Amino acid sequence: MDQLVRQVAPGRYDAYETLLAALAAGRVWMLLWQGRPDSPDAQYGSMQVEGHAYAPCFSSDRELSASGWAGAHEPVAGAEIAAALYPDRWGLWLDPHAAGGGVGVPWLDLRRVATGLDRLPAGPLRISEPVVDVAQFYALLGQTAHRTPAVRTLCRAWVQPALGEPYLAVGIDLYDTGPQSVAAAQAMMQESVAAVPPGLAVSTVALADDHDPVAMWMRANSRPFFDRGAYGGGPAAPPAGYGYPPPHPAGGAQQSGWQPGPAPQF
């Protein structure tokens, strides 16, 4: 993995995706500011970059040795540490000692590492209001939603991943997330996609998902095109932003100093 860290550069999303795949399948060496490996008081290190929190680590035992780190450390599977960090919006910073400062993996990409890189679009995402003319699909979807009591509101967005084709995202807000409600929403979409023009990709997102960048954008910027209660209203908007720091995949860590600081305990 350490070789892949050196290949990441601004705009090299292909190299970055390869690094994420290696992270998902491999392991990293976590720095411990406190405690020993596997002890109850073990606490990972922390660093701040552009106001975002990251846990520093090394991509190999070779990089660990090269860093000169003399404190405690703990090897952890990449998917395991990703699952532990992303819910609290912590990223992972690989090899902060390296020339250029290493590579930061934001918490949204750790979410992809933890849940499956092929299940979520590659970021950073460009999200906007849709410009495609699919009035027939919206009309059918609205009619089907009317007949689906579990659905409260529907929103939409146009999503352009860093890699891959753009797609139309439909945000679904349910009154509850029980199995019956989820199944009803799935049936609603299956019935409605018949009106989608050939070649147009459509995906769904749960508006209640606090860790999905498309859902976050919709809650902050989009008005529902279907609202069972009152058209034009919508869920309360959270603070804007997707969790990504400004682009600096090969720098920035040195300025942070990667000093000890408060970090989540696992």
Tell me what percent of the residues of the chain surpass a pLDDT of 90. 75
CA distance 136 to 58: 52
DSSP string, the chain: -HHHHHH--TT-HHHHHHHHHHHHHSEEEEEEEES-TT-TT-EE--EEETTEEEEEEESSHHHHHHHT--S-EEEEEHHHHHHHHGGGT-EEEE-TTSGGG-EEE-HHHHHHHHH-TTTS--SSPEEE---S--HHHHHHHHHHHHT-TTEEEEEEEEEE-SSS--EEEEEEEES--SHHHHHHHHHHHHHHGGGSPTT--EEEEETT-TT-HHHHHHHHH---SEESS-TT--PPP--S--SPPSS-TT-SHHHHTT------B-
Residue 259, CA distances (Å) to 14, 63, 115, 137 in order: 31, 18, 30, 53
User: Which domains are delineated in the chain?
Assistant: 2-122+245-256 (no CATH), 126-227 (3.30.70)
Query: How much is the pLDDT for 71?
Result: 86
Q: What is the pLDDT of residue 33?
A: 85
Cα angle: 82, vertex 18, 104; to 5 degrees: 50
Q: What is the 3-state secondary structure (H, E, C) of 107-118?
A: HHHHHHHHHCCC
**How sure is the predictor about 35, in pLDDT bands with cuts at 50, 70 and 90?**
confident
Instruction: Report pLDDT digits (tens) over 188-232.
Output: 999 999 999 999 999 999 999 999 999 999 999 999 999 998 544
Output 36 or 13, whichever has higher pLDDT: 13
Which of the pair, 29 or 257, is modelled with greater confidence?
Answer: 29
Calculate mean pLDDT across residues 112-134. Answer: 95
What does the pLDDT average to over 125-142? 95
**Taken in order 132, 137, 143, 147, is the CA torsion positive or negative?**
negative
Identify the band that residue 42 occupies on the pLDDT scale cut at 50, 70 and 90: confident
pLDDT for the residue numbered 254: 31
- pLDDT for the residue 250: 35
- According to the model, what pLDDT value does residue 230 have? 56
pLDDT of residue 41: 78
Mean pLDDT of the 35-58 span: 88
**Which has more confidence, 184 or 239?**
184
The identity of residue 102, as a single letter, is: G
| pLDDT tens sequence across 78-112 | 999 999 999 999 999 999 999 889 999 999 999 99
pLDDT in tens, 134-178: 999 999 999 999 999 999 999 999 999 999 999 999 999 999 999
Which residues sit opposite 57 in a β-bridge? 30, 94
Identify the residue whose tokens are 């073990």. Answer: 42
DSSP letters spanning 207-240: TT-TT-HHHHHHHHH---SEESS-TT--PPP--S
